[in-house]
Structure 1
Amino acid sequence: MSYTITRTKVILPRRPRGLVHRQRLINMLDDLLDYRLALIAAPAGYGKTTLLVDFAGQVEYPVCWLALDPLDTDLLRFITYFVAAIHEQFPTFGGPSRSLISNMGSAPIDLERVLRTLINDLYEHVSEHFALVLDDFHLIDHCPDINHFINRFVQEVDENCHLVIASRSLLSLTDLPLMIGRSQVKGLSFEELAFHPDEIQTLYQIKYHREMSPQDADAIARETEGWITGLLLTAETAREGLTGQGQAARAAGIDLYDYLASQVLDQQSPEMQDFMLRSSLLGEFNAPLCQETLGEPPADKSWEDLIGELLQKNLFIQPVDDGGTWTRYHHLFGDFLRQRCQETDPEGARGLLATLIEAFTRRGWWEKAYEACQNLGEETITADFLEQASTPLAHSGRLKLLASWLDELDLDLINNRSRLLAQYAGILITRGDTQHCLQTLNQALEGQSQRGTPVLLGLLLVRRASCHRILGNYQEGLDDALRALEIGVEEQQDEILAAESEREIGLNQHRLGDSQEAKTHLELSRKIYLEKKDQKNAAIVEMDLGSLAINSGNFKEAREYYQQAFLLWEELGNLTQLVGLCNNLGVLDHLTGDY
């Protein structure tokens, strides 16, 4: 059996208009041709073919070209075109090889004989160095015979032949690790192919005849991760200029998500499509997280298998840790998958996001849980999550992060959740909005006593005690703090409430002139915080005790408290507090005459 050659498959494609010459990649490719096999592996739309066309026009040695298609999975057809691609550049080559192919008939192909004949044919008729490009190799990579052919050819052909394979997926050649060990293989991945900001500027200038600022180029590089097709097809990559390209693309029936659907997602098995869609909602993921949130994997597969297949096929996925166990999708591809998942199975997507929020919350991954809440888009669930997260975030000193999230939440949702309201009140106090905080707490406490939640009532009372103290209402502050302490003692499991209450009692008593009682309550507060290993709040109370000692004229005791606070802040690495404390110690030195 023989095949009629379609010459467009074996001639070098024309250099496209507006091609951006990328010398850094040409230099890299040139270096790759010191090796037997050069691999260019990147997902769809990264400019692999365009780069190789540009490369072929720049180098001095001949470049043979074979544009592969799904029909080339037939081994005889593949070998026929393989020979034809070399013959296109070297007309004296191919006589023995083509003669062998034409005489094969319907008998099984003797690959060893074919390889031997082909390699000898090359040795006898081609003496100069040349490159042979196999473009779109992913279309035939699943064929064992073709992989075996390439595997043997690379290792046995003379050193003047340099095979360049462009593929969306990683190769599955059996001897690839061995060839890497022998320094016969090197390659480029999507990380090298990604457009740099200066290349985006050049592209913009060539295609749109306009200048782009370095800042806009940096922003586009971050958004698209240098993925050139994403840059060209996205209508919103810049405030102006590129939007025209996006409009033209839509007018031609081209859309970024349509491209990703037809070129990537729809090419996968139903099983893999389902995994890609659902795993996209996880953000960064590994096998244990998939097990926890997605449940059991498909029959005869593990989550490790499916993640490995994603990586092997180069499906816009990349490792995000040194061990390679955690992965994520390219930003634009991840956005596409999430939108597709929520469009095709909205209830399933909602349930998975809710499960994900619970999983992240259990692990204390607050930022990831909040991101899942944002993807879900239901404020009630976001408020419920923030109520759970607010206390751990506050105790770990992350009030700014909590405040930024609460600022995005409807105030009614905060006011209806006492624990969340207590933390929000603390944030208002730190912002200096004490009067507003007091009004909010007064309204909340009016109905709180009837709702039968004593611990939350205590938290609100402690916050109001702080407001009263800051506003100079020391007796009111003391009364609230004493009521909160009474609740904390009754609810023995809430020691933090007791610690906060003791501190407020002490601070208000100090303002009312009872320094001895103030010291007793502050030391009780410090003791609880230290027992709970809450170093941050323990350090704050140490500083309160130091100030109290100075005001009482006990400078030696003040220094001891400040030194204990210094050790705690130093252990926590809080430079801001250390600077303030050094200032306090300087004042103390001045008061004691230690200049």
Structure 2
Amino acid sequence: MRFGPREAVMAERTTDIRGVDQPAPVPYPDKLALPVRRAATIHRQRLIDLLAEHTSRLVTIVSASAGYGKTTLLLDFAQGWHAPVCWYALDERDRDLPTFLHYWVACGRTHFPAFGRGVEEALAGGEAMSSEGWVDLMVLAVQEVAQPFTFIFDDLHHLDEASPELRQVLEGWLYRLPAHCHLVLSTRTQPDVTVLPLMTVRQEVATVTGADFAFTCEEVAQLYRDVLNKEISLDDAQHLADVTEGWAAALILMADKVQAARTAISLEQLKGSDTLFQYINLEQFSGNPGEVQKFLTGSAVPRTIDTKWVNELLGIDNAEEMLNYLERRNLLVAREGTDPQRYRYHKLFRAFLVSHLRVQDPQRFTDLNEKAAAMLERERQWEEAVYHLLQAGAWERIVHVTERVGRELFEQGKWDTLADWLEAIPAQELDAQPKLVLWKARILHYLNQLDQALAVLARPIQTFEAEGDWVSLAEALVIKGMCLRLKGAYQEAEEVLVRARSLLLKHDGPTSALTEARKELGITQGMCGEFAKALEELKGVLDIYQAQGDAYNIANVSDKLGITLASVGRLGEAVGHLERARVRWLKLGNDELLVQTLNNLGMLY
């Protein structure tokens, strides 16, 4: 169909038609009445002002998923707008052209009793008419209204499956819409209307999206105070805004989880039985075809979505096509950053999808998480890999990854990452993995929680001793010696560390473990006043670290050597080692240990 210019329709019938004829009868007149305002809503003036600003364009597209407050906003706008607003609530029954046109005429007649006489007469006559003919009559009907007015089509997504004839007529009318008529199209999906891109280029189309609807911190506080009768602080309101991403329905449905003193809500706390998840299942998930549901649950396993990565994870080749479909359907998916291949789901939608997969298909949930972890290990993305191993409950593989990169993370100052991994493991599972407990002890030592660290070490030491795991026992003894030294029990610490070194030498332990044991023994011997032994151990391990190019430990041992040399009066050598440590801490960006070395230098100067 080709659309002609708006001027193609004769305007000689442009008159004030408010005083003639009568409303056109329709089976369900409530579809043309303003809806009743729900109680659990607030007046959002910034969005009303945005709609008012957009009336300078021909068309405003209001597009967001269910529960964002589209209808409430349009109702507030309609009730306060200075020009007539004709309301048409669409549903599945409006998908054929005659039904749509009957309601369209009746909609106009809620304010203009003679509106659409030509359309009404053509419908009554029952004669065949081309799409162009219907468009001409609709444009003429609007031209005959002698004042600015607005049409609101609510729930336009119900016409996504409309007949081709209706879509053609609607697009033709849109393209030739007279300037004094403003049309608001409210929809859960991105409207598939072929003339909209051209009209957008002509700056005839404005949009209001889910991002505009997102509640701000202040609006969350107002909603809870004025509607839900809950007083919350701005900090709590910001937390809720972050968790829900400002989604109105979620804010209301999560109100029962907000405690008087604390609103901190973890997505992991939500369950399928929660009202919010039931709402998401009804409005966003269960109505999709099985293929789409399977893609949704599978692609939600990773925390961010890369199309090529998801193709490999799910063993498919159409991830981009599926994501484009979801995007058109406004199914709570958005592009992430500037990379066109990266997407993410709304936080709560992803939480629902993950929960649904875990409950409905636990084997697929485990398999996908383990496969995702293997892919991420291959890419050396350790934190994300362990996240998926935690989801899968693959504790042995977590031990493997921790042994592989734990020391590296610890030396990079990422002890909090290790702490998060351990915190996420159930206590019973953690107790069953004594090698992981050693990392917990290291973290407690780092945090100066020495008694807790020693208590944590007791069981692994017994286990390793009983099983004859001498290398792991030696590592546990090294950590124990470090804790005892910090507590001031220098002699006991030395005895423990001497045993650790002996075990590693006797059982051909790995070089990394033996070198750490010698380093900690040398530091402890210096604290005991055994400076000759301390210097021998520390210089020996420094040579090893230098041969390995281990920048962290070169700096660490250089600092300890500097302190020990200063204790025996060899100040020049001490300064040299401390300066070496200072330079390396600077290059590594380790500010905490840099300050420690600078303090040691300050004591010498």
After TM superposition, is the score higher than 0.5?
Answer: yes
1:353 Cα deviation from its structure 2 partner: 3.3
Matched, 1:141 2:160: yes
Change over 3 Å in CA distance of 1:576–1:60 after alignment to 2? same
Residues 481 and 494, structure 2, Cα contact 8 Å, conserved in 1: no
Percent identity of equivalent pairs: 29
Instruction: Answer yes or no: is 1:340 the counterpart of 2:356.
Output: yes
Contact 2:369 2:392 in 1 (8 A): yes
CA distance in 1, matches of 2:123, 2:599: 89
Distance 2:404 2:415 in 1: 14
Distance 1:546 1:346, change over 3 A: same
Secondary structure at the counterpart of residue 267 of structure 1: coil
> Which residue of 551, 556, 561 maps to 1:540?
556
- 1:555 is aligned, of 546, 550, 571, to 571
The alpha-carbon deviation at position 60 of structure 1 amounts to 0.6
Q: How does 1:486-505 map to 2 (within 5 A)?
A: 486=505, 490=508, 494-505=510-521
Q: Which residue of 2 aligns with 1:207?
A: 227
The letter for the 2-side match of 1:136 is D
Q: For residues 395-414 of structure 1, what are the alpha-carbon distances to aligned partners after superposition, in whole Å with 9 as ceiling and x for unaligned?
A: 43222332354356566655
Equivalent position SS for 1:35 = coil
Output the CA distance in 1 between the equivalents of 2:183 and 2:83.
13
Q: Which amino acid aligns with 1:59?
A: W
Whole-Å separation in 2 of the counterparts to 1:141 and 1:533: 64
Q: 1:374 to 1:58 in 2, by over 3 A?
A: farther
Moved more, 114-123 or 139-148: 139-148
Residue 440 of structure 1 deviates from its aligned partner by: 5.9
- What is the aligned counterpart of 2:186 among 160, 166, 188? 166
Residue 55 of structure 1 corresponds to 77
Partner of 2:7: none
Matched position secondary structure for 1:60: coil
Deviation at 1:235, TM superposition (A): 5.3
Per-residue CA distance 1:120-141 (angstroms, 9 max, x = gap): 3322x12432221111111212
Q: Cα gap change, 1:513/1:11 in structure 2, threshold over 3 Å: closer, same or farther?
A: closer
2:501 is the alignment partner of 1:472? no
Q: CA deviation at 1:389?
A: 5.7
Report if aligned partners of 2:42, 2:227 keep a CA contact under 8 Å in 1: no
From 236, 253, 258, give the equivalent of 1:233: 253
The amino acid across from 2:557 in the alignment is V
Aligned counterparts of 1:532 and 1:183: Cα–Cα separation in 2: 64
Residue 266 of structure 2 corresponds to none
Query: Which ranges of structure 2 fall in alignment gaps of 5 or more residues?
Result: 1-23, 264-272
Of 319, 324, 329 in structure 2, the residue corresponding to residue 303 of structure 1 is 319
Query: Residue 32 of structure 2 contacts residue 88 of structure 2 at CA under 8 Å; is this kept in 1?
Result: yes
CA distance in 1, matches of 2:459, 2:72: 67
Alignment partners' CA distance in 2, 1:277 and 1:64: 41
Tell me how far 1:102 sits from its aligned partner. Answer: 4.1
Residue of structure 2 aligned with 1:64, choices 81, 86, 98? 86
Report the alpha carbon displacement of residue 347 of structure 1 after superposing the two structures with TM.
2.9
Paired position in structure 1 for 2:119: 97
Partner of 1:399: 415
- Post-superposition shift, 1:50? 0.9
- Partner of 2:60, secondary structure, is strand
- Which residue in the other structure is 2:501 paired with? 482
**Structure 2 CA distance for partners of 1:209 and 1:412, relative to 1, 3 Å:** closer
Name the counterpart of 2:147. Answer: 128
1:250 is matched with which residue? none
Deviations 1:502-532 (A, max 9, x none): 4234324544656466445434534544565
Contact 1:18 1:207 in 2 (8 A): yes
Given that 2:494 and 2:521 are in contact with CA atoms closer than 8 Å, whether structure 1 keeps it comes out as: no
Shift of the alpha carbon at 1:25? 0.7
After superposition, give the CA deviation of every residue in 1:176-198 in whole Å (9 maximum; x if it has no partner).
Answer: 33333332222111122122333
- Are the aligned partners of 1:220 and 1:237 in contact in 2 as well (CA < 8 Å)? no
Query: Is 59-68 or 336-345 further displaced after alignment?
Result: 336-345
Please tell me whether the aligned partners of residues 459 and 484 of structure 1 are also in contact (alpha carbons under 8 angstroms): no
Deviation of 1:560 after TM superposition, in Å, equals 2.6
User: Are positions 1:261 and 2:281 aligned together?
Assistant: yes
2:434, 2:274 → 1: CA distance? 51
Counterpart AA for 1:536:
Y
> Contact 2:297–2:354 (CA<8 Å) still a contact in 1?
yes
78 and 398 in structure 1: CA distance in 2 versus 1, 3 angstrom threshold: same
Question: 1:139 is aligned with what amino acid?
Answer: H
Alignment CA distance shift 1:48-1:543 (3 Å):
same
Tell me the CA shift for residue 44 of structure 1: 0.6
1:220–1:238 contact (8 Å) kept in structure 2: no
Letter in 2 for 1:8: D
- Which residue in the other structure is 1:180 paired with? 200
1:28 corresponds to which of 26, 30, 50: 50
Q: Output the amino acid matched with 2:308.
A: P
Alignment partner of 1:584 is 2:597: no
Deviation at 1:99, TM superposition (A): 3.1
Take 2:431 and 2:409, find their aligned partners in 1: how far apart are those partners? Answer: 19
Q: CA deviation at 1:53?
A: 0.5
Residues paired across the two proteins, number? 568
Change over 3 Å in CA distance of 1:533–1:313 after alignment to 2? farther
Aligned with 2:334: secondary structure? Answer: strand
Distance 1:77 1:534, change over 3 A: farther
Distance 1:18 1:333, change over 3 A: closer
Residues 26 and 533 (structure 1), Cα distance of their counterparts in 2 relative to 1, 3 Å cut: farther
Q: What's the CA shift for 1:385?
A: 6.2
Within 2, Cα distance between the matches of 1:197 and 1:435? 43
Distance of 1:404 and 1:96 partners within structure 2: 71
Shift of 1:57: 0.9
Structure 1: segments with no counterpart, 5+ residues: 244-252, 590-595
For 2:367 and 2:524, the matched residues in 1 are separated by 49
Q: CA deviation at 1:429?
A: 2.7
Name whichever of 79-88 and 35-44 sits farther off: 79-88
The match for 2:9 is none
Which one-letter code corresponds to 2:252 in the other structure?
A: L
The verdict on how the C-alpha distance between 1:122 and 1:335 changes in structure 2, with shifts beyond 3 A counting, is same
Does the CA contact (< 8 Å) of 2:88 and 2:154 recur in 1? yes
Query: Aligned equivalents of 2:480 and 2:230: distance in 1?
Result: 59
1:507 aligns with 2:529: no
Do the aligned residues in 1 keep the contact of 2:147 with 2:180 (CA within 8 Å)? yes
CA deviation after TM superposition for structure 1 residue 22, in Å: 0.9
* CA–CA distance in structure 2, aligned partners of residues 229 and 434 of structure 1: 48
1:312 matched to 2:328: yes
Q: TM-score, normalised by structure 1?
A: 0.83
Query: Are positions 1:112 and 2:112 aligned together?
Result: no
- Whole-angstrom CA distance in 1 between matches of 2:549 and 2:110: 76
Show CA shifts across 1:525-561 (max 9, x none).
3454456554333322221122123223233333332
Whether contact under 8 Å (1:391, 1:423) holds in the other structure is: no
What is the distance in 2 between the residues matched to 1:279 and 1:465?
A: 47
